[in-house]
């Protein structure tokens, strides 16, 4: 198997799984760093816990359409970007490649693909 540098956190609760993944990655998110979120519908209700912590770091939030809508409903500013690279620029690939984000949080359902 080829290593991609990915880490994963597993738990029954969304917030705990994300915390485990961040700890295992050794990620030290700098204040104001961008974070890209694309979260499955089943996890959107748990986003508020993660967003509370991210708001303390002054992170700039980027999100795909459905996730951006959920974040906006929590009253936070978010930059909505296209998930698919043929749907416009900047898209998820652009902001990862240009260094706009320091972390990507992506959850999926069994019938959907990852970013």
pLDDT at 115: 53
For 69, 94, 111, the CA distances from 17, given in Å and listed in that order, are 22, 27, 20
Kindly tell me the burial class for residue 24, based on how many C-beta atoms sit within 10 Å of its own C-beta (0-12, 13-18, 19 or more).
exposed
Q: What percent of the chain has pLDDT over 90?
A: 29
DSSP letter string, the chain: -----------SSHHHHHHHHHHHHT--PPTT-EEEEE--GGGGGGHHHHHHHHHHTTPEEEE-HHHHHHHHHTT---EE--SSGGG-SS-HHHHHHTT-EEEEEE---TTS---
The predicted pLDDT at position 1 comes to 46
Average pLDDT score, the chain = 82
Arithmetic mean of pLDDT, 1-29? 70
Domains of the chain, each with CATH number or no CATH: 32-106 (3.40.50.1380)
Q: What is the pLDDT of residues 45-66, one digit of tens each?
A: 888 888 887 777 788 999 999 9
Q: What is the pLDDT of residue 112?
A: 58
Residue 17 or residue 63, greater confidence = 63
Enumerate residues 6+ apart whose C-beta is below 8 A from 96. 36, 104
């Amino acid at each position: 198997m080829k290593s991609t540098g990915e880490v994963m956190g597993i738990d029954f609760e969304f917030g705990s799984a994300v915390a485990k993944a961040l700890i295992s990655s050794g990620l030290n998110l700098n204040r104001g760093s961008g974070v890209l979120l694309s979260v499955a519908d089943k996890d959107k209700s748990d986003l508020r816990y993660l967003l509370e912590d991210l708001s303390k770091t002054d992170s700039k939030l980027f999100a795909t359409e459905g996730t951006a809508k959920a974040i906006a409903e929590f009253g936070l500013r978010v930059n909505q970007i296209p998930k698919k690279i043929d749907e416009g620029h900047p898209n998820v690939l652009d902001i990862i490649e240009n260094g706009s984000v320091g972390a990507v949080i992506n959850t999926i359902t069994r019938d959907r693909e990852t970013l």
